[in-house]
Amino acid sequence: MNIKEILETWLKDHGYDGLVSDCEECACKIGDLAPCDCSFLDCKPGYEIPCACGGGCLFHMTSIRPDVQRTCPKCGGLIVEGIPSHCPRCMYAIQEQEGL
């Protein structure tokens, strides 16, 4: 068993779908970890979510559990950043007082 196999087993056993980088611009799924052969030492376990950027991506990955994600009140897009934030789809400013 190699490191990728050990990591994939751990991710599955703990309910994750793959890995995501700190900047959340790079992500990979179980079964295809680090397809670009980049180091995944700085990645975090991630959960797969639908494309929220409107760019037609196959998937997005976030380190925030799906059950604590919020939706934008303007366009319905997924908000995965902390409060205050902006919707990645429509750039609507999400404010703490909106109770999201």
Tens-place pLDDT, residues 69-96: 677 778 777 665 544 466 766 777 765 4
Grade residue 36 by pLDDT with cuts at 50, 70 and 90: confident
Tens-place pLDDT, residues 43-57: 899 998 877 677 778
Q: Is 52 exposed, middle or buried (0-12, 13-18, 19+ CB in 10 A)?
A: buried
The predicted pLDDT at position 30 comes to: 94
pTM of the model: 0.65
Side chain identity at residue 79, one-letter code: I
Side chain identity at residue 87, one-letter code: C
